[in-house]
């Protein structure tokens, strides 16, 4: 177990270093000199030089890289090139927003997706199963912002149940926080629910065909108890999809953050990439990868718990 | 004007003018929470601003959309009135020397900053020095050589060169006074320390999402700020912003002109003012890169070719004024009678091009970025009809800022100034990213008029010279302006917004009950 | 970026039949037709489009449909229909770039990882996992900023992020195929690795790649539109994403402008998704429960004898005992499965019986219907199977007319079942203790402590010397022989009067086989159970059975006492079987292979095995 953790940790750190290094050089290669974008070309050369010196852009690239990575290793991601605030401070503000929405969306899709997946798996070809199949295609084909806009129009503008925009921090008001993340989470979760349900349903049917299920039934176990066995065996695929979903949403919630005006990492990604604020982009990359590594680690733990055979590989 | 603007803001101006996005379903015909509120008694101003505050440090802040945020917590030395004329604020009066190289200002007494520091001439000098060295604010003080505290409440500003737009820029947002202690401690990026009409309620604010300000009990200019509470929400997406307005989460909004009909349905107040000019900028008007552009007739031909009114109506949602000039259409320099000069006439355009020796047109490279995409089809087609073949080079916005100046001409959406002399320096005489080669020297008549304007007595005399210059520039087809685009603001009944050309979002003093 | 879930288990499918079977699915045909229309529109756009897609006519700005402009004009005054047609080009072009780059990266890597395994596999899988951990949106936005919005470069970058989808599906498939005998045969025959990869592997992964491509294309088109929604991408060429962006801005006032590209985009993605899911249905083992109508048809066909082969529809086999005395009595049992070509009957009129305390052997080759007969008794036929009988009596009680729940209540109490494959018949996720105790507590109502004690006792009884260790173990931690003893323990723990054992020794080592048979015999005598043992091996019959039933092609060819059958087999087939059992021990595998090719039910089962071996991640 310890060696398992150590191995995963090592692999995670390696991934973190590789991805951030890649992003560092890609961003520098792609963006080039950021000062005109940050300052406007009307700035005098002296002002541009001053900014370059201030952000350390006048040094050789490798020196900048070493400077960045050695500081990042201690948790210091430097300062934004635009407003000179520490990147860490911005991330501390932004990450909880995206995390609230994504975690809530993941929970929603886990609970509802599992329920729907089981119901469909129990009665394949039934009405619910056919609805699920159709829904999966429809939600797959619908552009993401459509769903968000429909939700806003119904639940925020017509019914006034939820705010149309904005994020309320839970330390200000827990109910306000819940209200503010409901619509964004639901718009993210809709697609995810369908995917989890599909995956669980297919896994369910696959496991249902396995020998041990017949043996369990032959021992006289009730349908409900057999279902519990099948479910546990079918859950790894659904859990894996959930983890992938979480990872995908973490970096891909940009449109939802824009439509709901959430100050999360998605909207920060967009604005930072537009003006070429490389330290912010790198901080975002690092944070995202850390979460991905954590989630994958958790996933491995859970999968090992669900199916002990996995543990010994 | 761009000494006060960063490139990002021009990009934003363009985005705003493009009317980025607007929508809710047609079914969402809610009356608008604010719309139903009784007039006169709105205690809370909830304004949707296009961008987040750049920095609480006035030296690192932008003008465009930082105005509402900074005006809540800082007092300026000089403010502007609704016609963009400088009016007293912390400076109660001022006087120019005869050579207009020394400005002496009397300062308000009895003002203290939130940290208990006293506002006096020494504090003002510390602030101005900080602003002059600031990476963004420094551009306003390029012609200033020094600041001195003559006595406790007398300030003297020395100029190295006459600058008739200095007070305008100070009023626009370059003279916010912060606590000298905070400046010395370099702590302003963490949070504002000013003397402004409101206290920043950090506990109830969520940076980058909402900012809450509560009114101070005894501010010297209390009457100008009627709302007990001010909440500012940075909302870039116009759909999100409009939804927030419809749901009552906002009562003032930086608006998208495409939503005008819906705003009227809701009974909201609508305020508009010219903010940017849209057209073609001839960066190479001396013809060093593309010889044709050095010929006045070619530039005129291009001006004749474009259907400005059509573009304004189609692309600009009709929100603006078709004109070939770039002094604001509601100002004194603007001459309506000249607007007919380049009335769309393709035959004439082709003739001019032929006369200039380009009957078959010519080929030119132009940069293109997504935010200018809305104008591209019309531009491409008009150039095509004229015989000018354009090779578009796609690039992202920061690259556009970086690279556009290297192209002989490009599509432009450039923010305008509310001050006539500022317009002269920003659009004509000084090199800017959007005007990389002013080339005034290459046009002796222009050079002479510029010289006269810079020497003229401010007021009617100066305006008269500028009018001549304006006429000359239009005649030379110095640029091909299609129209001046408006910035538009929606507010619920009971709140009125007075927009200022030069501010992307007006400061709080321009948002009043009524 | 999230990969679309894809069934990991795939049944072997021939290429030609896939195309033909696809065309039998109406939904699939409609989807394919729609996609072809879109492709045709894209290819023929220059000829189909009524106007230049970039021609601006200000009078056309926001125009309603009509006046030669079928779909009206957009916000810049351009003909929407023409832009839609030309936009299809851009959209499909981008999707093709994305799919091709994902394919070129993912498939070779997946094939190599699956085929070579080891370091190659670990390295490639790590890279694939790493790619999925990269915040793709950041990279795409940076790439967009850096390459001057170059569309092909962006689409290639998108393809790189979608490559893990290809990689995983290909690897799983290659891993499964690698274990197939024909690959081994090719290697033994000296075929080089590159050639095996080219010929065998690529053919094997072909079908899932087609499915994955349909899904990837859908994702690519959606992502493309998403990027354009964020204002990324070339402005000079018409594209649907850009048209939607335009429509989005004018949605409130001119909703039609948004509608047209949305319909085009939605239809294209939905068509791809339906094509993908239809294909996935065809090649995967998505065990669709047969519809009620199909089951009724099977039932009807089983009960109503076809006039042409009346002789075949008569019951086969005979009863030895009177109905009241029987522990088990089957009367004219028929089992059938619905298949595309009609009803496939695997048991065709079987009658047999067994007295209390008797040991009955059912002998036959694979595919003779012996196991199906057993499953029919247990009422545990694989999905899609239907059984019809004139009568089934268990312990003298007629059960064929009982409800499913009443039949299920017999299991574990009256009937015990010992399966064939020891390891696949234990739930890998639970300890042995849990699996033994659960039925005792919840079926037999024992307390937790009693149940554990009984489980432990039974384990000792079946000859396990360290019962506590076994109880605490997971199935993968014990040997096959131990597992079979555990399964026997599980079957007898409930003290059933009838024990059904399906090839209980086939999967075991020869040395263990005898011990297990001996154990069964002992238990049968000790508990006074009736034992019905299904086997293909007359050696087993000779060891343990009192009476034997010989089956062939779903019918009984002979019934009799063991000595009598051995000495005077009445049917030549019986004689053949006996002689085969004597000199052949390992013919079973080949028989299984042959059977798997014929029987749809067998197909399901073998595919499920493949699925079990596929790596889920």
H-helix or E-strand spanning residue A254: helix A254-259
* B73 touches C: beta carbon within 8 Å: no
Chain B contact probe: residue of C148, C256, C262 with most B CBs at under 10 A: C148
Q: CATH number of the domain that C238 lies in?
A: 1.10.3720.10
The pair of three-digit structure tokens given for residue C529, joined into one six-digit string: 């159970």
Beta bridge partners, B104, equal B95, B156
Q: Which of residues 227-256 of B touch C (CB under 8 A)?
A: 239, 256
Q: Is there a contact between C75 and B24 if contact means CB atoms under 8 Å apart?
A: no
Residue C377 pLDDT exceeds 60? yes
Same domain membership, residue C159 and residue C245: yes
| Mutation for A interface: B59, B210, B212, B436, most A CBs within 10 A | B210
With a cut of 80, say whether residue C245 has pLDDT above it. Answer: no
* Subunit contact C494:A220, Cβ cutoff 8 A: yes
Residue B130, pLDDT score: 94
Per-residue confidence (pLDDT) for residue B4, from 0 to 100: 30
Q: Is residue C433 part of a domain?
A: no
Q: Which CATH superfamily is domain B56-197 in?
A: Dipeptide-binding Protein; Domain 1 (3.90.76.10)
pLDDT in tens, B323-378: 999 899 988 899 988 888 888 889 999 999 999 999 888 999 998 877 787 788 88
Distance (Å, whole) CA C316 – CA B20: 80
Contact A136 C273 (CB under 8 A): yes
Strands B252-255 and B44-49: parallel
Average pLDDT of span B226-249: 88
Q: Is B296 left (phi over 0), alpha (psi -120 to 50) or beta?
A: alpha
| Yes or no, beta carbons of A143 and C226 under 8 Å apart | yes
Most confident by average pLDDT, A68-77, B211-220, C115-124: B211-220
Distance from CA of A222 to the nearest CA of B (A): 50
Closest partner CB to A36 (pick from B7, B240, B241): B7
Distance from CA of A235 to the nearest CA of C (A): 11
The sign one gets for the Cα dihedral B173, B179, B180, B186 is negative
pLDDT higher than threshold 60 for residue C356: yes
* C-alpha distance from B137 to closest chain A C-alpha (Å): 10
pLDDT category of residue C341 using cuts at 50, 70 and 90: low
Task: Report chain B residues whose CB lies below 8 A from the CB of C251.
Answer: 22-23, 25
Distance from CA of C148 to the nearest CA of B (A): 4
Is pLDDT at B403 greater than 70 in this prediction? Answer: yes
Per-residue confidence at B118, pLDDT binned at 50, 70, 90? very high
pLDDT of residue C581: 72
Same domain for C364 and C235: no
**Does A133 sit within 8 Å of C277, measured CB to CB?**
yes
pLDDT of residue C516: 83
Q: Which CATH architecture has domain B275-486?
A: Roll (3.10)
Tell me what pLDDT residue B481 has: 92
Going by pLDDT thresholds of 50, 70 and 90, the confidence category of residue C236 is low
pLDDT at residue C343 greater than cutoff 80: no
What gap in Å lies between CA C266 and CA C26, rounded to an integer?
Answer: 19
Domain boundary among C253, C284, C315: C284
C141 interaction partners in chain A (CB closer than 8 Å): 269-270, 273-274
Per-residue CA distances from B12 to B5, B372, B394, B444 (Å): 11, 11, 18, 35
Q: Which residues of C touch B262 (CB under 8 A)?
A: 252-253
Residues of C in contact with B256 (CB under 8 A): 249
- How many angstroms away from the CA of B406 is the closest CA of chain A? 12
**pLDDT at residue number B126:** 94
Are both C270 and C360 inside the same structural domain?
no
> Which residues in chain C have their CB less than 8 angstroms from residue A250's CB?
135
Q: What is the pLDDT of residue B211?
A: 92
Q: Residue A125: which of C218, C273, C289 has the nearest Cβ?
A: C289
* Chains A, B: CB pairs < 8 Å: 153
- B129, with CB counted inside 10 A (0-12, 13-18, 19+), is middle
3-state secondary structure at position C479: coil
**A309, C474 contact by CB (below 8 A):** yes
Other chains touching A, judged by 3 or more CB pairs under 8 Å: B, C
Contact C456, C468 (CB under 8 A): yes
- Determine the residue among C2, C246, C436, C446 to mutate to test chain A binding: the one whose Cβ has the most chain A Cβ atoms within 10 Å: C2
- Are residues C90 and C239 located together in one domain of the fold? yes
pLDDT confidence bin for C308, thresholds 50/70/90 = low
C242 lies within 8 A of chain B by CB? yes
Chain B: list its partners (3+ Cβ pairs within 8 Å). A, C
> Is residue C62 pLDDT above 60, yes or no?
yes
Q: Best of A206, A230, A252, A309 to disrupt the C interface by mutation (most C CBs within 10 Å)?
A: A206
What residues of B are in contact with residue C239 (Cβ under 8 Å)?
A: none
Length of chain C (residues): 617
Report yes or no on C289 lying in a domain. Answer: no
At C526, which CATH number? 3.40.50.300
Which of C233, C249, C284 represents a domain boundary (last residue)? Answer: C284
For the ranges A62-66, B349-353, C200-204, C229-233, which has the lowest average pLDDT? C229-233
Whole-Å CA distances, C371 to B105, C151, C501:
105, 60, 10
Give the residue from B11, B15, B22, B23 with the most C CB atoms within 10 Å of its CB, the best one to mutate: B23
Chain C residues with CB under 8 Å of B393 CB are 148
A304 interfaces chain C, CB cutoff of 8 Å: no
The average confidence (pLDDT) of chain B is 85
Q: ipTM, 2 decimals?
A: 0.81
Instruction: Write down the domain spans for chain B.
Output: 56-197, 275-486
| Furthest-apart CA atoms within chain C: distance in Å | 101
Considering only the beta carbons, identify the residue of C134, C380, C438 that sits closest to A217. C380
Residue A196 tokens read as 């989890």
Please name the member of B370, B381, B394 whose beta carbon is closest to the beta carbon of C55.
Answer: B381
- Domain extent at residue C403: 356-382+395-414+496-616
Per-residue confidence (pLDDT) for residue B268, from 0 to 100: 92
Q: What is the mean pLDDT of chain C?
A: 78
- The verdict on a CB contact (< 8 Å) between B204 and A172 is yes
Candidate from C3, C134, C438 with C-beta closest to A221: C438
Name the pTM for this structure: 0.78
Which residues of A, range 249-278, sit inside 8 Å of C by Cβ? 249-252, 254-255, 258, 266, 269-270, 273-274, 276
Average pLDDT over residues B167-195: 91
Domain check: are C367 and C246 in the same one?
no
Q: Who's near C193: CB < 8 A, 6+ residues apart?
A: C115, C116
User: What pLDDT tens digit does each residue of chain A (313 aa) get?
Assistant: 677 778 888 888 888 888 888 888 888 887 777 776 666 545 566 767 777 777 777 778 888 888 888 888 888 888 888 777 788 888 888 888 999 999 999 999 888 888 888 888 887 777 888 888 788 778 777 776 778 878 888 888 888 888 888 888 888 788 888 888 888 898 888 878 888 888 888 888 878 878 888 888 888 888 888 888 888 888 887 888 888 888 878 876 788 888 888 888 888 888 887 777 888 888 888 888 888 888 888 888 888 888 776 665 4
> How far is Cα B225 from Cα B198, in angstroms, rounded to an integer?
9
Q: Residue A255 in contact with residue C137, Cβ under 8 Å?
A: no
Q: Which of B207, B241, B401 sits opposite A40 (nearest CB)?
A: B401
Measured CA to CA, the distance from residue A165 to residue B243 in angstroms comes to 8
CA distance C3 to chain A (A): 7
The B residues from 162 to 191 touching A (CB cutoff 8 Å) are 189
Calpha distance B508→B211 (Å, rounded)? 14
Q: Are residues C234 and C126 in the same domain?
A: yes
B247 touches chain A (CB under 8 A): yes
pLDDT value of residue C583: 59
Q: What is the 3-state secondary structure (H, E, C) of B277-318?
A: EEEEEECCCCCCCCHHHHCHHHHHHHHHHCCHHHHHHHCCCC
Among C254, C284, C314, identify where a domain stops: C284
Q: Which residues on C lie below 8 Å from A247 (Cβ)?
A: 2, 132-133
The shortest CB-CB distance from B249 to any of A34, A150, A164 is to A164
Highest mean pLDDT among A37-41, B90-94, C172-176: B90-94
Six-digit token string for C76: 């810049």
User: What integer pLDDT is reported at residue C289 of this predicted model?
Assistant: 52
Query: In angstroms, what is the C-alpha Rg of chain A?
Result: 24
Contacts of B17 in chain C (CB under 8 A): none
């Amino acid at each position: 177990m310890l060696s398992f953790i150590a191995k995963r940790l090592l692999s995670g750190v390696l991934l973190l270093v590789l991805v951030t290094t890649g992003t560092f050089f890609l961003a520098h290669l792609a963006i080039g000199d950021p000062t005109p974008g940050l300052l406007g070309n009307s700035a005098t050369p002296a002002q541009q030089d001053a900014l370059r010196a201030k952000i350390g852009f006048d040094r050789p690239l490798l020196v900048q890289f070493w400077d960045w990575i050695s500081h990042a290793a201690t948790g210091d991601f430097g300062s934004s090139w635009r407003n000179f605030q520490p990147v860490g401070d911005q991330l501390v503000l932004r990450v909880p927003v995206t995390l609230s929405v994504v975690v809530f969306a993941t929970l929603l899709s886990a609970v509802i997706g599992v329920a729907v997946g089981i119901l469909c798996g129990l009665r394949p070809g039934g009405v619910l199963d056919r609805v699920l199949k159709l829904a999966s295609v429809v939600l797959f084909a619908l552009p993401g912002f459509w769903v968000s806009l429909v939700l806003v129009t119904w639940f925020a503008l017509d019914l006034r149940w939820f705010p149309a925009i904005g994020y309320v921090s839970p330390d200000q008001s827990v109910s306000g926080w819940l209200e503010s993340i409901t619509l964004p989470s639901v718009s993210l979760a809709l697609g995810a629910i369908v995917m989890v349900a599909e995956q669980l349903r297919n896994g369910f049917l696959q496991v249902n065909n396995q020998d041990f299920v017949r043996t369990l039934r032959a021992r006289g176990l009730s349908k409900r108890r057999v279902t519990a066995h099948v479910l546990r065996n079918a859950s790894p695929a659904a859990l894996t999809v959930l983890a992938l979903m979480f990872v995908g949403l973490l970096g891909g919630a940009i449109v939802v953050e824009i439509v709901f005006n959430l100050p999360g990492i998605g909207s920060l990604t967009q604005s930072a990439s537009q003006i070429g604020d490389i330290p912010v982009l790198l901080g975002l990359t690092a944070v995202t990868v850390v979460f991905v590594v954590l989630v994958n680690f958790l996933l491995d733990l859970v999968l090992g718990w669900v199916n002990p055979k996995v543990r010994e590989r | 004007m761009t000494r006060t603007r960063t490139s990002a803001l021009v990009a934003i101006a363009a985005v705003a003018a493009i009317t980025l996005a607007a929508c809710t379903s047609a079914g969402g015909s809610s009356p608008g929470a604010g719309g139903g509120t009784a007039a006169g008694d709105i205690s809370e101003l909830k304004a949707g601003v296009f961008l987040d505050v750049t920095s609480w440090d006035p030296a690192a802040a932008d003008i465009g959309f930082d105005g509402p945020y900074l005006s809540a917590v800082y007092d300026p030395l000089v403010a502007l009135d609704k016609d963009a004329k400088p009016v007293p604020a912390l400076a109660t009066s001022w006087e120019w020397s005869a050579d207009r190289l020394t400005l002496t200002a009397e300062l308000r007494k009895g003002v203290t900053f939130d940290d208990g520091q006293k506002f006096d001439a020494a504090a003002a000098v510390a602030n101005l020095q900080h602003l002059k060295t600031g990476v963004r604010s420094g551009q306003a003080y390029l012609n200033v050589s020094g600041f001195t505290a003559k006595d406790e409440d007398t300030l003297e500003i020395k100029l190295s060169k006459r600058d008739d737009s200095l007070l305008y820029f100070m009023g626009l947002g370059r003279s916010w006074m912060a606590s000298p202690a905070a400046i010395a401690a370099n702590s302003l990026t963490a949070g504002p320390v000013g003397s402004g009409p409101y206290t920043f309620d950090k506990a109830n604010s969520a940076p980058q999402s909402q900012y809450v300000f509560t009114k101070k009990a005894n501010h010297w200019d209390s009457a100008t700020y009627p709302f007990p509470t001010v909440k500012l929400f940075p909302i870039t997406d116009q759909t999100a912003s409009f939804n927030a307005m419809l749901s009552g989460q906002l009562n003032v909004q930086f608006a998208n002109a495409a939503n005008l009909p819906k705003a009227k349905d809701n009974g909201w107040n609508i305020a508009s003012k010219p903010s940017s000019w849209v057209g073609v900028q001839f960066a190479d008007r001396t013809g060093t890169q593309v010889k044709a552009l050095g010929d006045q007739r070619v530039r005129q031909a291009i001006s004749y070719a474009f259907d400005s009114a059509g573009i304004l109506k189609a692309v600009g949602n009709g929100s603006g004024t078709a004109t070939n000039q770039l002094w604001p259409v509601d100002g004194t320099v603007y001459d309506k009678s000249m607007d007919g000069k380049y009335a769309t006439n393709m035959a004439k355009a082709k003739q001019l091009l032929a006369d200039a020796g380009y009957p078959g047109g010519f080929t030119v490279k132009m940069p293109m970025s997504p935010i200018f995409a809305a104008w591209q089809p019309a531009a491409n087609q008009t150039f095509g009809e004229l015989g000018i073949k354009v090779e578009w080079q796609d690039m992202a916005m920061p690259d556009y800022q970086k690279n556009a100046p290297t192209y002989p001409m490009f599509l432009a959406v450039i923010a305008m100034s509310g001050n006539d002399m500022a317009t002269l320096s920003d659009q004509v005489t000084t090199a800017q990213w959007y005007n990389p080669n002013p080339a005034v020297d290459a046009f002796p008549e222009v050079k002479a008029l510029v010289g006269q304007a810079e020497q003229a007595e401010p007021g009617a005399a100066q305006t008269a010279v500028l009018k001549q210059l304006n006429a000359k520039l239009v005649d030379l087809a110095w640029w091909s302006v299609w129209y001046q685009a408006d910035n538009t603001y929606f507010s619920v009944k009971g709140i009125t917004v007075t927009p200022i050309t030069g501010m992307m979002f007006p400061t709080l003093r321009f948002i009043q009950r009524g | 970026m999230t990969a679309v879930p894809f069934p990991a288990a795939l049944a072997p499918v021939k290429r030609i039949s896939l195309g033909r079977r696809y065309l039998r699915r109406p939904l699939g045909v409609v989807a394919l037709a729609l996609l072809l229309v879109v492709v045709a529109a894209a290819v023929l756009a220059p000829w189909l489009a009524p106007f230049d897609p970039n021609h601006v006519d200000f009078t056309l700005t926001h125009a309603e449909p009509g006046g030669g402009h079928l779909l009206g004009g957009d916000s810049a005054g351009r003909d929407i229909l023409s832009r839609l047609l030309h936009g299809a080009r851009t959209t499909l072009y981008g999707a093709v770039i994305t799919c091709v780059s994902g394919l070129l990266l993912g498939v070779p890597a997946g094939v190599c990882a699956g085929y070579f395994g080891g370091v190659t596999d670990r390295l490639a899988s790590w890279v694939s996992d790493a790619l999925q951990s990269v915040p793709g949106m950041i990279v795409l936005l940076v790439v967009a900023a850096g390459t001057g919005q170059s569309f092909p470069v962006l689409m290639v970058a998108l393809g790189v992020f979608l490559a893990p989808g290809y990689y995983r599906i290909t690897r799983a498939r290659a891993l499964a195929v690698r274990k197939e005998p024909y690959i081994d045969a090719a290697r033994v025959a000296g075929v080089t690795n590159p050639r095996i990869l080219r010929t065998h592997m690529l053919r094997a992964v072909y079908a899932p790649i087609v499915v994955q491509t349909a899904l990837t294309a859908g994702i690519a088109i959606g992502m493309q539109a998403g990027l354009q929604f964020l204002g990324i991408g070339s402005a000079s060429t018409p594209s649907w994403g850009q048209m939607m962006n335009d429509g989005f801005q004018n949605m409130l006032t001119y909703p039609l402008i948004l509608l047209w590209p949305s319909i085009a985009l939605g239809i294209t993605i939905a068509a791809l998704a339906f094509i993908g899911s239809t294909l996935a249905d065809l090649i995967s083992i998505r065990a669709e429960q047969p519809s009620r109508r199909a089951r009724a048809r099977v039932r009807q066909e089983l009960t109503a004898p076809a006039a042409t082969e009346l002789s075949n529809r008569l019951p086969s086999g005979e009863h030895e005992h009177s109905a009241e005395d029987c522990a088990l009595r089957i009367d004219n049992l028929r089992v059938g499965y619905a298949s595309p070509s009609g009803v496939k009957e695997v048991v065709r009129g079987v009658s047999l019986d067994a007295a209390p305390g008797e040991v009955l052997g059912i002998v036959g080759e694979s595919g003779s219907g012996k196991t199906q007969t057993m499953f029919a008794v247990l009422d545990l036929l694989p999905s899609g199977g239907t059984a019809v009988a004139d009568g089934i009596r268990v312990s003298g009680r007629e059960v064929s007319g009982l409800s499913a729940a009443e039949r299920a209540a017999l299991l574990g109490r009256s009937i015990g079942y010992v399966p064939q494959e020891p390891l696949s018949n234990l739930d890998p996720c639970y300890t042995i203790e849990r699996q033994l105790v659960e039925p005792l507590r919840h079926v037999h109502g024992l307390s937790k402590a009693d149940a554990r004690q009984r489980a432990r006792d039974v384990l000792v009884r079946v000859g396990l010397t360290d019962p506590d260790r076994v109880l605490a173990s997971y199935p993968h931690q014990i040997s096959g022989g131990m597992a079979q003893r555990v399964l026997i323990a599980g079957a007898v723990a409930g003290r059933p009067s009838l024990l059904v054992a399906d090839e209980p020794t086939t999967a075991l080592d020869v040395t263990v086989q005898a011990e297990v048979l001996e154990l069964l015999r002992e238990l049968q005598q000790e508990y006074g159970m009736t034992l019905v043992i299904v086997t293909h091996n007359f050696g087993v019959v000779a060891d343990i059975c009192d009476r034997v039933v010989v089956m062939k092609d779903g019918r009984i060819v002979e019934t009799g006492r063991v000595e009598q059958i051995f000495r005077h087999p009445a049917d030549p087939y019986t004689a053949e079987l006996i002689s085969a059992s004597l000199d052949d021990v390992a013919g079973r595998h080949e028989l299984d292979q042959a059977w798997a090719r014929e029987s749809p039910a067998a197909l399901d089962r073998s595919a499920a095995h493949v699925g079990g071996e596929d790596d889920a991640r």
